[in-house]
Structure 1
Amino acid sequence: MASSSSSAADQEPLLQRSPSPTGSMKSYNSISKSREDDEEVSLGDINPPSRAVENDVLPETAVLGRNLGWSSAYILIMSRVIGSGIFATPGAIVRSVGSVGITLLLWIAGALISWLGLAISLEYGCMLPRSGGDKVYLEFVYRHPRFLASVLIAVKSVLLGFTASNCIVFGEYVLYALNREPSQFEGKILALGLLTVIVVIHSCFLKTGIFIQNVLGWLKIALAIFMVFTSLFVVLFRSNESTESTTSSIQIKTNGSYIWDGSVWNWGIISTAMFKVSYSYAGLSNVNNVLNEVKNPVKTLKSAATAALITSCILYLLVNIAYFLVVPIEEIKNSGELIAALFFERVFGAKVGRVLLPLAIATSAAGNVMVVTFSHARVVQEIARQGFLPFSEFISSSKPFGAPMGALITHYIPSFLVISIPAANIYSFILDVEGYPGTIYSIAGSAGLLWLRYKRPDLHRPYKAFLPAVLFSVFHSVAVVFAPFVPREGLNWKQHLSEVSYAFVGTAIILFGIGYWYVWTVWIPRRNGCTLEEIDATLDDGTTITRLVHVPIGSKLVSTTEPVTEDE
């Protein structure tokens, strides 16, 4: 899946081990169009693909095999979506925007915007059914300048692909359940312990890890439903009573003025809150990252992702309403990441509310960490297969336990470092830093889809995104990118810069990627009088990879098809 400087029509792999990639693509398209049920196309039906970028339209089975059916794919999405977001972010959102009304509008808007992004991911995923997600899509679209898209995706995935936020929530909720004073050190120890255990499980026990994350996924869905029914019970039977299980009577206010009291209509503040909402919906395209391991990838992707979007939208809206029905808004604003714990404490009292149910929420966060680690390691593995990371062959390999241990370790290191940062209230900053560059990449993906519609009508598209939705996604993402620079009322310029520092950090990471790309792929080869070229190779576990080699200008690249070992 290498980028190339040649045009799509005449691109050939550097090592001619199979017929022309374009020819393979047309063969696959003709097969796909004749199959109305979108069944998985066996690679035996077509010529074996090379690593050339045009062959991204061909399904590829991972060395690990296709271990994920429909239910596993659905839970892979739901466990990614329903993590710490619904249990931790509402307090920060209400504190920012000031009212129940705007908060609920943001969650509804977040669902609609997520649908736009999902439609784009579905078109890409069905058109290019390979593991890697945005890596595959942006490489396919943006082939000039050569290697730039690949390097930027690699930098983003390694530097911002950490699983820190849900680990932190896990530590906080465990301490809360144990009725201990908040301790930054103890919380970080618990977070790091969770991360370490999950990486070990996914590295050494592939199918066990999948089973555990499926169980945790269904448990967190059940927990969200339980919260909704609990709030309804409070409204119907206890809204006017003082009970022993609450510190004060539960007051339910539903009049219109209460809903909009304290609203802050500032686009900069609302956009920052939208980052948190969007992050809570993030993960609807999680299956796109692991399509090489999904049975009937196109058919499963379309149905599982749509079902997950509908489910998560309903649960998010109802759980937010449950919070507002039970917990006074001022307590919500001051709750930090512990809003769900306050909810259960007010309903069930200190004994149950502070022990059992916070532990259940910690378990939910752990499930999120499991699926994020599982899927992101596959993205890192695909990047390594392309040759864009140090120790690429080790990271690409599935040895010794039939799982991407090298990629999991690569994912583990930045997550470990971020969790270890000795700073309080790091959670919200992490969400914003992760979200800002992601919005810029979203613009590139949406615009790229429009470009492909115009330049590549020959591509088979089992799913087509609604064109106005794609256009709206572009304009919305552009607005969100520039929103942090809108002046905020009541803040001087120093305070404002402090509030939007995440935008500068995210931008700096992208600029670092561009600088790294130029030095590595342009300046060094030019200085040494050579070009950076790609050759196909196969590891001894059967994983196909791309090697990047320096070839003196004017020399011919010698072809080889022999397998290589990781230490060669």
Structure 2
Amino acid sequence: MADSDEHDDIDNTEAHPLLAAPSLPTQTADKPSKSSEVTALDAAVASSSSPASSSAASVRSVRPYRTFDDDVLPETSTLGRTLSWQSAYILVISRVIGSGIFATPGAILRGVGSPGLALLLWVAGAGVAACGLGIALEYGCMLPRSGGDKVYLEFTYRHPRYLASILIVFVVVFLGFTASNCVVFSQYVLFAVGIEAPSELLRKGLAVGLLTAVTIVHGGFRATGVRIQNVLGWLKVGLVVFMILSGLFVVVFRPKGREAAPTMTLPGLWAGSNWNWGAISTALFKVFYSYTGLENANNVLNEVKDPVRTLRSVTASALVTSCVLYLLINVAYFVVVPLETIANSGELVGALFFQTIFGRRVGGIALSLAIALSAAGNVMVVAFTMARVKQEIARQGLLPYSKLLASNKPFGSPLGGFFVHYIPSFLVIVLPPSAEVYSFILEVEGYPGQFVSIAIAGGLLYLRYTRPDLKRPFRVWIPAVVLKIVLNLSLIAAPFFPPKTPPTSGLFYATYAIVGVSILASAVLFWWVWAVVLPAWGRYTIEEEADELDDGTAITRLVKVPKTELGR
């Protein structure tokens, strides 16, 4: 997947930065008399008054306080580097292994027809996931800073100025929510306690309760929140291992009431295989989604100890762990539950597994608690990382009340980032009136991300040839990047191919894709008005100036500078 950089000799990323620090532009001590602080997402952007004549204004040169090349230097959060290898590993593995592990294997088997082909697709999926991971690793080791895709897009696509920043704001702030696993948690907790037909108010209330509890714990008790999510992550891994061992126990000891032979045998491994490309591609998409999240640690590198080394080892370990666990849990399902039962049942394969081993009542409760545990762990790690990405956006001055949202006061945590993350998540849980609308929102959430992935992968190829001077402790194999781009293009095109059965909602089958593209188009339109039209009309430019909050957090202030003060 990768070849090592011939200059990979970093022993300490803090003592040996990845690139020599660029010289920063010298700024004048006096601030522009007609400059005013602006916010990218301030809905009421006012045009500036006509600038003073050039004869009345002193001409000066104002440049950004930083260059984008600063992003190649490690930056330590004011919270310190408190995330150990274990915590970083849990951030990744708990994001990857979610509640889908109890449903996806059965759906894939039903689609492709044989356990052999299903297992082959899980291995192929791991290979494709490694391609995407390689891209995230090269970027993360080259630009070891919190923010993930935000940092990578801004570093790569510097012109037109601010366009990449505005696009990532729309994708991350408006579409980066934690709702689906909150709802999953609610449904299965209620089922576990015997409430099989809960009211909508109760179901949504419990989902909001989980979201609120996670926000309070992470926002008010940072160290405690990390400990809790570490425990939940290890419990999730332990649960999957327990299920695998349970399947092995059934095969080896054949408890009373079990058939004499396992349902999956080597001679019949490929029996019934469906090699139709449509069925295989649909199954592959499910597999690819199951490996989503391997780049989760890239979002919080300012808080990770020895970020470059940790990132490389944590992500590789998480990929191997998830691949092995996925393969073994599939085998456990196939040897415990009759293949015909899996193929003909609409239930989760995890439900069939637990019911076969523990009985319908105990098995149903065990499954519900297992899914709830997985969902809660996923909510915690996603909220933890996404809050920090949104804090990075606020640090750049791209949100209203950016100083407040970028601060780590009063609890020594990015409480503002959690607040920005909480609002859209809360609305997505509470507002949709039906399951169809909720599902539609989730589909819209994921679609623009495919364009971001293509921009990231294409940008990596661009930097290979335009910035060979950048030190790359990890180098991804170029064919892997091309494969990732092809995959993302296929995912972009997929919604526009008519499905066999029309959507039950009555909507056009590609509606969610059209809405997703419209959101990106809205971001471009907003950028054009905010960064091009209004500055041209008001004869000013939007510049960056350095500032520092009381808690030591470095931020950027976006200011309007009349062109007369720039000598333009």
TM-score by length of 1: 0.83
390 and 96 in structure 1: CA distance in 2 versus 1, 3 angstrom threshold: farther
Contact 1:91 1:336 in 2 (8 A): no
Instruction: Give, in whole Å, the separation in 1 of the partners of 2:269 and 2:508.
Output: 31
Q: Once the 2 structures are TM-superposed, how far is the Cα of residue 425 of structure 1 from its aligned partner?
A: 5.9
Aligned residue pairs: how many?
518
- In structure 2, the residue matched to 1:440 is 451
- The structure with higher relative contact order (CA 8 Å, sep 6+) is 2
Separation in structure 2 between the aligned mates of residue 341 and residue 271 of structure 1, nearest angstrom: 25
**Aligned counterparts, 1:229-244, within 5 A:** 229-238=245-254, 242=257
Task: State the alpha-carbon separation in 2 of the partners of residues 202 and 439 from structure 1.
Answer: 29
- 481 and 177 in structure 1: CA distance in 2 versus 1, 3 angstrom threshold: same
In structure 2, relative to structure 1, the CA distance for the partners of 1:473 and 1:256 (3 Å cut) is farther
Distance in 2 (CA, whole Å) between partners of 1:48 and 1:215 is 44
Q: Is the 8 A contact 2:264 2:339 kept in 1?
A: no
- The answer to whether residue 202 in structure 2 is matched with residue 202 in structure 1 is no
SS at match of 2:543: strand
Which residue of structure 2 lines up, in the alignment, with residue 452 of structure 1? 463
Say yes or no: does 1:211 pair with 2:227: yes
Cα shift at 1:320: 2.3
Structure 2 vs 1, CA of residues 556 and 107 (structure 1 numbering), >3 Å: closer, same or farther?
same
Match of 1:79 in 2: 94
- Name structure 2 gaps, 5 residues minimum: 1-5, 25-64
For residues 271 and 127 of structure 1, what CA distance do their matches in structure 2 show? 33
Once structures 1 and 2 are overlaid, which stretch shifts more, 288-297 or 529-538? 529-538
Amino acid across the alignment from 1:64: L
Contact 2:79/2:412 (8 A) holds in 1: yes
Q: Give secondary structure in 2 for the equivalent of 1:555.
A: helix
Map 1:474-513 → 2, pairs under 5 A? 474-488=485-499, 490-491=500-501, 498-513=508-523
Q: Does 1:397 align with 2:413?
A: no
Matched residue, 2:162: 147
- Would the alpha carbon gap of residues 108 and 387 (structure 1) be closer, same or farther in structure 2, given more than 3 Å must change? same
Give CA-to-partner distance per residue, 1:207-249, whole Å, 9 cap, x none. Answer: 000111111111111111111111122233338x536xxxx99
* Structure 2 partner of 1:179: 194
Write out per-residue CA displacement over residues 40-75 of structure 1, whole angstroms, 9 at most, x where no aligned residue: 3378x9699764311000111101111101111111
Q: Does 1:191 align with 2:172?
A: no
The offset of 1:272, in angstroms, is 5.1
Q: Using a 3 Å threshold, how does the CA distance of structure 1 residues 447 and 410 change in structure 2: closer, same or farther?
A: same
Contact 2:263–2:339, Cα closer than 8 Å, also in 1: no
Aligned equivalent of 1:107: 122
CA contact (8 A) 1:327 1:342 kept: yes
| Aligned pairs (5 A) from 1:32-47 | 35-41=9-15
Distance in 2 of aligned mates of 1:188 and 1:493:
25
* Number of the residue aligned with 1:164: 179
How far the C-alpha of 1:316 sits from its partner, in A, is: 1.3
Q: In the alignment, is the contact (CA less than 8 A) between 1:272 and 1:432 conserved in 2?
A: no
Amino acid at match of 2:128: I
Paired amino acid for 1:278 = F
Identical pairs, percent: 55
**Other-structure match for 2:140:** 125
Superposed CA offset, 1:328-347 (max 9, x none): 45654687784423321221
Structure 1 counterpart of 2:481, from 465, 470, 487: 470
Q: Which amino acid aligns with 2:536?
A: R
* Structure 1 residue 433 displacement after superposition: 3.2
In structure 2, the residue matched to 1:318 is 328
TM-score w.r.t. structure 2 length? 0.83
1:362-394 CA distance string (max 9 Å, x none): 112111111110011111111111122222222
Task: Choose 280-289 or 516-525, whichever is displaced more.
Answer: 516-525
Structure 1: 5+ residue runs without aligned partners? 1-31, 558-568
Greater shift in the superposed pair: 106-115 or 404-413? 106-115
Q: Give the conservation status (yes or no) of the 8 Å contact 1:60–1:130.
A: yes
Alpha carbons of structure 1 residues 543 and 376: separation in structure 2 relative to 1, 3 Å:
same
Offset of 1:93 from its aligned partner? 4.4
Corresponding residue of 1:227: 243
Q: How far does residue 288 in structure 1 lie from its aligned partner after superposition?
A: 0.5
Amino acid at match of 1:198: V
C-alpha deviation, 1:270, in angstroms: 5.1
- Which is greater in Rg? 2
